[in-house]
Amino acid sequence: MFMGEFQHNFDTKGRIIVPSKFREELGERFVVTRGLDKCLFAYPMAEWSIIEEKLKKLPLTKKDARAFTRFFFSGAVECEVDKQGRINIPQPLRNYAGLDKECVVIGVSNRIEFWASENWEDYFNESEESFAEIAENLMDFDI
């Protein structure tokens, strides 16, 4: 399980250090793709396979299903950790998430997320204000 929040910076070549706490669970190769809320999602290969199988079962006749699978898979890239614990995230993905220099890397159960520091701060502050309401809405899910 991934959890925690870490601050890291991209270097001039678009590389970022993957927090050591996450590297072992992610493995040497993993998938990074566009996430929701203008961040990037990163999944270990085993978890990616599970998601891929679920998305394959979505009906092609549903417009939303086609749109989501296109969005999710077209941005996906396989990343490999180098000897310094870094990965190179392609420019189109960095552009999507607004990742320039400062980055927040967070663990979210079965994945990690890469956020532009400013976007994460804004998102966190907005969510924090409505956290009680969000929690109340999720009570129906036995949380």
Is 58 a domain residue?
yes
Is 17 a domain residue?
yes
DSSP 97-137: HT-SSEEEEEEEETEEEEEEHHHHHHHHHHHHHTHHHHHHH
Residue-wise pLDDT tens digits, 99-135:
999 999 999 999 999 999 999 999 999 887 787 787 7
Q: So what's the pLDDT on residue 142?
A: 63
Q: So what's the pLDDT on residue 68?
A: 95
Q: What is the CATH number of the domain that holds 96?
A: 3.40.1550.20
Tell which residue, 9, 3, 5, 23, has the closest CA to residue 103. 9
Q: So what's the pLDDT on residue 137?
A: 77
Is 124 a domain residue?
no
Is 75 a domain residue?
yes
Domain of residue 108: give its range: 2-116
Is 81 a domain residue?
yes
Is 40 a domain residue?
yes
Q: So what's the pLDDT on residue 127?
A: 86
pLDDT higher than threshold 70 for residue 143: no
User: Which positions ≥6 away from 136 have C-beta within 8 Å?
Assistant: none
State pTM to two decimals.
Answer: 0.92
Residue-wise pLDDT tens digits, 4-33:
999 999 999 999 999 999 999 999 999 999
Q: How many domains does the chain have?
A: 1
DSSP 49-106: HHHHHHHHTS-TT-HHHHHHHHHHHHT-EEEE--TTSEEE--HHHHHHHT-SSEEEEE
Is 20 a domain residue?
yes
